[in-house]
Amino acid sequence: MQKTNENNTMGTNLGLVISYFGNSVAVEAEDGQVIQCHLRRNQALPVVGDQVYFQLENSDVGVITDIVSRRTLLARGDGRGKMKPIAANLDVLLIVMTPPPIFSEYLVDRYLLAAELSNIKPVLVVNKIDLLDSESKQAINERLNIYRKIPYPVVLSSACTQGGLDELTEVLQGQNAALVGPSGVGKSSIIATLSNSDLIRVGEVTAKGAGKHTTTATRLYHLSNGSDLIDSPGVREFNLWPVTKQEILGGFKEFLPYIKDCRFRDCQHMVEPGCAVQAAIADGKISAKRFANYQELLKEAYVPSHQKK
């Protein structure tokens, strides 16, 4: 996390990063003007949601001089064992899914883990519920009850009929939020409806249910309720940055009340005798599905070199 150096901010302007394309960053100044800014060599890369200081080179072009310390940072793994920042200073993470075949508890749990580790409040949004009949809606609600019991907020929405969007607007009131989820779940449609914007290109979903990418660059939108909403390019997979087994365990917060009752202090909550987590699963207090996803995520855990045998 980069701290602001006050000696570098003399004669500069404060702004908000609202989009970026490679090394070109769009910064919204305090007066609302949008300035295209470039970076100095070897400078840390700002992300959408960052507060930055910049200097003007002419009326509409500037250069970033510093990044204000971030409250929170959402990131994902880059596939090479490093963290790739996505958005900064978030209060809420909207995890957007649609009914099957796109809905995936495993992908939801990856996003939830990222939110917990980033100290960002997660909200699970199931969009396009207008496509469901009563039987299918009951089935998806049963799957969502796992998350309601933890508890995590769940919103059923439809950008088409606008069902559930009042509830979503209330959740977002005055908050900085980002939408994440696979392509085709309607993230851009949600933003277009909430912001009454016709500038967002809304794509069609392919016949197989795997959506087309309609967002090519991460961008921030201001909503009339005082919230900011960030849309980022859809990803079919969400890679975690290197996280330890202990961090993964901490991200499954419904496990935590039971851990202290395990027979062994170093219990891995897998097959050990006297495991209180396993007992809670048998009693229906912890979802067996969530535990299965926890086990899968453990396979990706980072092991510090001093712990390797």
- At residue 209, the pLDDT reads 40
Average pLDDT over residues 86-110: 94
Whether the per-residue pLDDT at 246 is higher than 50: the answer is yes
The per-residue pLDDT for range 136-195, each reduced to its tens digit, is: 999 999 999 999 999 999 999 998 888 899 999 999 999 999 999 988 898 888 988 888
Query: What are residue 34's DSSP bridge partners?
Result: 28
Least Cα distance to 209 among 129, 101, 126, 137 occurs for 101
Q: Which pLDDT belongs to residue 10?
A: 47
User: What's the whole-number mean pLDDT along residues 123-131?
Assistant: 96
Which helix (DSSP H) or strand (DSSP E) does residue 185 occupy? none
pTM here is 0.88
Question: Which pLDDT tens digit goes with each residue over 214-235?
Answer: 445 788 999 988 899 998 774 5
Domains of the chain and CATH, by start: 6-67 (2.40.50.140), 73-231 (3.40.50.300), 245-304 (1.10.40.50)
Neighbour-count burial for 154-175, b at 16+ CB within 10 Å, e otherwise: bbbbbbeeeebbebbeebbeeb
pLDDT of residue 15: 97
Type and span of the H or E element at 93? strand 92-97
pLDDT average, residue stretch 33-39: 93
pLDDT mean over 15-32:
89
pLDDT band at 8 (very low <50, low <70, confident <90, very high): very low
From the CA atom positions of the chain, what is the Rg in Å?
Answer: 21
